[in-house]
Amino acid sequence: MAYPVHRSGYTGPSAKIGGSTDYHVDLKMLSSLPIAERIKAMDALANQYGSIGREIEFSNDAVSGKRWNATSDLADKVDLLERAAAAHSHSQSPGFNSFDFYVPFKGKSRFDKGAVEDASIYLPGVAGGKIRRGSGGGYGYFSEALDPSGKVVFRVGHGNVDRPEAETEILVAAGQPPATTVDPQENLKRYIQDNLQSTLMQQLLAPQQQTDHRAVMEQMMKSMGGLGILQNPMSV
C-alpha cells in the first residue's frame, strides 16, 4: 500500500505544543499494522521531508541521533524502527507504537539554531480514509489518519496550536498517488518557506546583532543555490 502524505501544522515551542520538548514531533503507528507497512509509511514521511531538505532524527536515548534512511536495507530499517519504538517506553499508548523525532535540515544537527524551529509536520494518510485534526490533551495540534472503516492507523502531534491547517477533516482519495509524485512546485514553495523561517530565526537569535535584511536574503539564496532552485523564487 502507498501512503499519501499530508501536512499537519508546524513544530513549535513547548508552551504551544502541549508542554513537551520544544520543536519535536511525536508519531504513533497502529501496532497491529504489519511491520512492512509501518516501514512503507516511515519511508513515505522520510521522502516527503527529504523533498524540503529535512531528515527524520530520532531523539529518545537508545536511538538518539539515528536518522531514517529510506534507501537502507530492509533489515536495518526493521531494526531501527523496533528500537525507536522500544525507546519510547516513558509514555505508552495502548495499541500504538510511538516515535519521538526532530526534522533538522540535512547537514545540520537538531541542536543548531534554526535547524528544527517551525518545521512542517507530516502524517501518512490511508487511501479511502480521512485525516481528522484537533488540538489539546497535552498533544498540542495533532492529526489522525483513519482507514476506510474508521480505525485510527496513524497519529502525529505536538504541533504548534497557533498554526493549524485550514481544514479540520479531509478525505484521502482511494487512488491517490504516493507522496513522491507530489507537485514539485509545491515542494519548492515549502522548501523555500522552511529555509526562510530558519534563516530569519537564526538572525533573531543572534545576540546584539543588527539584522541586514539584504544579507539574510543573500544567505537564503546561497543555501538553495546548489539545489537547482529557480533564480527568482518569489515567482513560484
**Do the strands 152-159 and 120-124 form a parallel or antiparallel pair, or are they unpaired?**
unpaired
**How many domains does the structure of the chain reveal?**
2
User: Could you give the CA distance from residue 79 to residue 83 in angstroms, rounded to a whole number?
Assistant: 6
For residues 173-196, average pLDDT? 57
Give the tens place of pLDDT for each residue, 63-78: 999 999 999 999 999 9
Q: How confident is the model at residue 112 (pLDDT cuts 50, 70, 90)?
A: very high
Note the pLDDT of residue 182: 45
Q: Where does a domain end: 179, 197, 222?
A: 179
- Least confident span in 25-34, 114-123, 207-216: 207-216
Cα-to-chain-centroid distance, residue 100: 11
The model carries a pTM of 0.76
Say yes or no: 165 and 59 in one domain.
yes
Say yes or no: 155 and 214 in one domain.
no
From residue 21, alpha-carbon distances to 36, 103, 202, 236 in Å are 30, 14, 19, 34
Q: How confident is the model at residue 235 (pLDDT cuts 50, 70, 90)?
A: very low
Say yes or no: 143 and 221 in one domain.
no
Note the pLDDT of residue 200: 57
Say yes or no: 170 and 192 in one domain.
no
Note the pLDDT of residue 84: 96
Q: Where does a domain end: 140, 163, 179?
A: 179
Say yes or no: 202 and 150 in one domain.
no
Say yes or no: 22 and 129 in one domain.
yes
Say yes or no: 198 and 174 in one domain.
no
User: Could you give the CA distance from residue 2 to residue 177 in angstroms, rounded to a whole number?
Assistant: 7
Domain that includes residue 172, residue range? 5-179
Say yes or no: 171 and 94 in one domain.
yes
Note the pLDDT of residue 93: 74
Q: Where does a domain end: 156, 179, 202?
A: 179
Say yes or no: 149 and 127 in one domain.
yes
Note the pLDDT of residue 123: 98
Say yes or no: 16 and 87 in one domain.
yes
Per-residue pLDDT at 45 exceeds 90:
yes
For residues 102-131, average pLDDT? 97
Give percent of the chain above pLDDT 70. 72
Say yes or no: 225 and 195 in one domain.
yes
Say yes or no: 165 and 110 in one domain.
yes
Higher pLDDT, 229 or 153: 153
Q: How confident is the model at residue 199 (pLDDT cuts 50, 70, 90)?
A: low
Higher pLDDT, 231 or 117: 117
Q: How confident is the model at residue 33 (pLDDT cuts 50, 70, 90)?
A: very high
**Do the strands 57-58 and 96-102 form a parallel or antiparallel pair, or are they unpaired?**
antiparallel
